[in-house]
Amino acid sequence: MFRMRRSERTRVMILLEDHNIRPSPRKSQHFLVDEGILDRIVEYGDVGLNDRVLEIGAGVGSLTSRLLKRSEHVYAIEVDSRLSEILKERCAQANVINADALKIDLPEFDKVISNLPYSISSRITLKILKSGFKMGILMYQAEFVRRITAPPGTKEYGRLSVFTQALADVEILESVSRDAFYPRPDVHSVLIRLRPKEDVVENKDLFLEFITGLFSNRRKRLSKVLGSMGYDVKDLDDEILDLRPDELDVSRIIELYRSLI
């Protein structure tokens, strides 16, 4: 007898119902169920058999199951213990980690491919960028992508923009409709590719601390900002010192950092 194949949306809804789970928007539990987008994510990542792939916010395994068809080394992090049990059942070959990705040491990985929980976008992105990896295919809220790609002189331009653009090339792959998720979120999403740059700075934590100091006083002149941070600025050009932090592009901030550290 012919049986119609279930859609991923139907499969997710049944899994959640069978386990008495009601998705929590507060926990950013919006599951990506559009099969075309799920398949394209894996293709964008160019996942190979020996790639160590990290997925953060793996949910019920819609993306995980596809990654496992391409790689033998998939690490799926899920903070919700109920969802992690579904993951273990559905994706038995994955290394399922029931933990908060912000609170653990991430496993070593080559590629990070995730529909990230939007509530932790900033913190998890900073953590990912500090890691050594080859590529990231990441889903974010559209507003967040505007922040990490913002140019100097805009209100969105800040420490997150600088840290991201300094350490990686950012490529926007596609915009994703709210209808691609279950339940439907209130925001639009964007899929991006991150390709890390090599040898930008030796100490990424110190670089982030420097940027954070700059942009905590973004409307003041650099002469005052750097002075308040304890730096000796007597050897810096007056032209630089008269600018505000948000007027400096990423390359000039890197140069400034290298000249002071």
Residues in the annotated binding site: 30, 32, 57, 78, 100, 115
Residue type, 34: D
Tallying the residues shown for the chain, one arrives at 261
Q: What residues pair up with 20 in beta bridges, in sequence order? A: none
Which residues touch 207 (CB under 8 Å, ≥6 apart)?
A: 163, 166, 200, 201, 257
What are the binding residues for S-adenosyl-L-methionine?
A: 30, 32, 57, 78, 100, 115
DSSP labels, the chain? ---PPPPHHHHHHHHHHHTT----GGGT--EE--HHHHHHHHHHTT--TT-EEEEES-TTSTTHHHHTTT-SEEEEE-S-HHHHHHHHHH-TTSEEE-S-TTTSPPPP-SEEEEE--GGGHHHHHHHHHHS--SEEEEEEEHHHHHHHTPPTTSTT-SHHHHHHHHHEEEEEEEEE-GGGEESPPSS-EEEEEEEEPSSS-S-HHHHHHHHHHHHTTTTS-HHHHHHHTT---TTS-HHHHTS-GGGS-HHHHHHHHHHH-
Neighbours of 194 (CB within 10 A): 23
